[in-house]
Chains A and B, each alone.
Chain A
Amino acid sequence: MIEYSPRNIRSWSIMGINPSVWSVGFAEVAEKKENVSVLTADLSRFSGLERCAAKYPDKFYNVGIAEQNMVGIAAGMAMEGVQAYITTYAPFVTYRCADQVRHLMGNMNLNIKAVGSSAGLTSGWSGTALLSINDIAFMRSIPNMTVLSPADCSEAIKMMTAMSEIDGPCYLRLCGTTAIPVVYKEDYEFRIGKAVTLQKGSKIALIATGVNIVDESLKAAKSYEEETGVKPTVVNLHTIKPLDRECIEALGDTHELIVTVEEHSIIGGMGSAVAEVLSQKRGAARQVFIGIKDENCKMGSRAFMLGQVGLCAEDIFRVIKSNI
């Protein structure tokens, strides 16, 4: 059993999101389930898979730099009743093998779990080729797909164990590397498809998803409350599909302004998913999108990247102020 103690939570945050997912989350899955495989496309060292591969050599397959084949092999395994985890950089486990994902994971509804590392703007130093800012748009449009976006390491671990209970395709989107900000300082109840209200307020509701982004949204809400006395609601929308419609509809009813915040293109991402709900609702609150605009970024550190596209607390704060 994984112990979600404050001490462990702190150490996972330092260790980083990929090792948390594999050394802690997957280890739990592998102990419980005999019929699991992990496949990587030559990215086990970076993915934090090495320990896991050493511990479960009979469950681990490295297929080389060949992502399409990786999904295909996982499909064959899944057709034989194995739960197959595939992992590499987020852009390569999603759109590099997009047709395999669409057909084998989506149409055939196979039990394949895609874990994408360095999603969003994480690979700022590695260049535009490694950015992954359209993956939510793509993956959530695939039938049967569950799309998960953790806010911190403990949530990522919970997602890993929770998705092992689903008999169908999932995408786990991991942003950030190490020194991951902690959103949940202690254990909490996680359920796929059930958004978490981190703080209840009024007038403004921030709906955020992902590492750093939920944390920055909480900070922005705090600044706004300090300045105006109005406490915004902050919701962690960790499951982008299936969407917690009930939560979003309620926010649309009870608040004046909805602000969606995501490390993803504003086209087709989490904000769009929220808009698909709010637009159906008579008299729902207005929505403002914070995300990556439809233009190219300059490259650099994670802090630079997030600042550049306006995903830091002060940027979010400014957007709230100018829209209320």
Chain B
Amino acid sequence: MNKNEIIERSYEYRKLLRVSALEMAKSTGKAGAHLGGSFSAVDIIATLYGGILNYRPEEPDWSGRDRFITSKRHCYLASYSALCLAGMISKEQLYSFHADGGELAGYPWIPELGIDFSGGSLGMGLSAGIGMAIIGKKRGQDYKVYVLLGDGECNEGSIWESFMSAAKFKLDNLIVIIDNNHLQFDGRDTDIMPMGSLEEKAVAFGFETVAANGHSIESLYDAFTVSHNDKPLAIIAETVKGFGLPSIEDKVESHHTVLKEDDYIAMMADIEGGRYDRV
């Protein structure tokens, strides 16, 4: 796909993923779901599945596929929706995410369904991605490894152990995306644990680093296509937690909550009204 086609498809995906994520959230009823982190990451995921990731829908565990690790698994409404949209899982499998004993309940590792990691215990995914990237290079395979981190997740010391090692192993096949929504479970990042500049940190750890608007397909596309010879790439994607859901947008309550009818209506109206269209 050329640039225009990828961007076109990513725009299509960002709308369809939103619809699907809303329906998934709705299906959880009073239990609620991780709306905040799903809607901060939804455009990142739309761009990845829209054409940045190399994958085969008919063969999700194809050995040449690009790996995608959702280390912050709080984006499952969007990432599972992407698997369904891309044709790697069925609708039935998608909705098993919130069924007792369901196939996708508990965020398991199932490469056969396009799920490359079991995220959730924060701070582990980047290390795993580094292991995959090392082996890819060693075997001369040209797949890339994409790892999605939350900014809150970057409080974990193990994240910085990983950052340290990625440059040592010269992993130019590794792309880290930080969903920088500035909110974590208990509050604003600056109140809970001020992290300073993630960009400067990534540079200091030997990454090629680029800032992006995490809700702009074009900006994300540009970031994903930055050249990073001999170095891993870090994309600091500025996002808004619960983006597009008026009652919880950029609010700490968005982390895990019940989807309000008004928010559902507002986002559906926005989708239909062209807010997420390409201009």
Contact = CB atoms under 8 A, between A and B. Distances in A.
Given A68-B158, A75-B128, A99 B134 contact: no
Contacts of B129: 76
Contacts of A76: 127-135
B131 A77 contact: yes
B126 interface: yes
B124 A100 contact: yes
Interface in A101-117: 103-104, 107-108
15 contacts: A37-B135, A64-B161, A64-B164, A64-B168, A66-B158, A66-B164, A68-B157, A72-B126, A72-B128, A73-B127, A76-B130, A76-B134, A80-B135, A103-B118, A108-B118
Given A64-B164, A73-B134, A76-B133, A99 B128 contact: no
Interface string A67-82: 0111111111111101
B73 to A, nearest CB: 12
Contact of A79 (B109, B138, B158, B168): B109
Contact of A72 (B116, B118, B131, B138): B131
B155 interface: no
B4 interface: no
A196 to B, nearest CB: 36
A80 B132 contact: yes
In the complex, the 9 A-B pairs of residues with the closest C-beta atoms, listed nearest first: A72-B127, A76-B131, A69-B161, A66-B161, A76-B128, A68-B158, A73-B131, A80-B135, A76-B132
A300 B168 CA distance: 38
Interface of B: 109, 111, 116-118, 121, 123-136, 138, 157-158, 161-162, 164-165, 168-169
Contacts of A73: 127-128, 130-131, 134, 165
Given A79-B116, A80-B135, A68 B165 contact: no
Interface in A49-69: 58, 61, 63-64, 66, 68-69
Nearest to A109: B109
Interface core residue of A61, A79, A84 (most chain B CB under 10 Å) = A79
Contacts of A64: 161, 164-165, 168
B164 A103 contact: no
A82 B135 contact: yes
A72 B124 contact: yes
A80 B121 contact: no
Contacts of A100: 124, 127, 158
A266 to B, nearest CB: 30
A66 B135 contact: no
A82 B165 CA distance: 19
A32 B161 CA distance: 32
Contacts of B123: 68
Nearest to B135: A80
Contacts of B126: 72
B161 to A, nearest CB: 4
Contact of B124 (A78, A84, A104): A104
Nearest to B147: A76
Contacts of A68: 123-124, 127, 157-158, 161
Contacts of B169: 61
Nearest to B162: A69
A79 B131 contact: yes
Nearest to A68: B158
A74 B124 CA distance: 11
B168 to A, nearest CB: 8
Contact of B121 (A66, A69, A70, A103): A103
Contact of A58 (B136, B138, B164, B168): B138
Interface in A2-19: none
